[in-house]
Structure 1
């Protein structure tokens, strides 16, 4: 099982909480081969299909190369909007996280993605 070292987990959670505050619902780390939920807010149930979510979010690893060298610039992050909140995916190299939040101001996502990508880039190569 590949998972971030404990200090990296703490860094990811701290960055997510700093950017989202009480709106943070969940934080999940993933690679091509593994998925691990790092945080789930206490008022939510553990019924999410993490493997199913991971299969979808792993498409982001391919998106990094698909969008490389386009006039859009480098791929940075993805935000999906749902009725009850947002899902944000951030990938750096072979590591990724997705997190869910309650509704919040859209400009907070750029700060969030930047902080998480910095931490992910500091991981040892997978």
Structure 2
């Protein structure tokens, strides 16, 4: 596995740029065995621990089977919210991509998370 074909790299990057515009920070391809950063915005340093990120995002391969056949339907993607931006992971057909972006408009997710966190803070887990 390893590296996607060059045409696929361009297609992935084009799709990410179309969806995120100037907010695109990075694009990283990964499999169960390999990880490769395909794009990093020029104003960012290459200090990210790709292997550490990959270890975390690889859990998505296992999660797909855990979530199979639930009433929620098929797993589609994961969004992780950070102080300075977002990470979106998509896995399909045994390989995946994660995209990091600057903060973008996702007010509904933030409102939902805030409301749920407030409720969770209001009681102690038994």
TM-score range, shorter chain: 0.7 to 0.9
C-alpha distance in 2 between matches for 1:2 and 1:79: 24
Matched residue SS, 1:104: coil
Equivalenced residue count is 107
C-alpha distance in 1 between matches for 2:65 and 2:9: 26
TM-score using structure 1 length: 0.83
Which protein is bigger by CA-based radius of gyration? 2
TM-score using structure 2 length: 0.83
C-alpha distance in 1 between matches for 2:53 and 2:104: 22
Structure 2 counterpart of 1:101: 101
Deviations 1:67-120 (A, max 9, x none): 00000110000000000000000000211000100011228xxxxxxxxxxxxx
Structure 2 counterpart of 1:124: none
The alpha-carbon deviation at position 2 of structure 1 amounts to 1.2
Structure 1 counterpart of 2:47: 47
Structure 2: 5+ residue runs without aligned partners? 108-126
C-alpha distance in 1 between matches for 2:32 and 2:80: 20
C-alpha distance in 1 between matches for 2:106 and 2:36: 26
2:12 equivalent to 1:5: no
C-alpha distance in 1 between matches for 2:106 and 2:98: 16
Structure 1: 5+ residue runs without aligned partners? 108-126
| Pairing 1:1-126 to 2, within 5 Å after superposition | 2-106=2-106
| Cα RMSD, aligned residues only | 1.1
C-alpha distance in 2 between matches for 1:47 and 1:99: 16
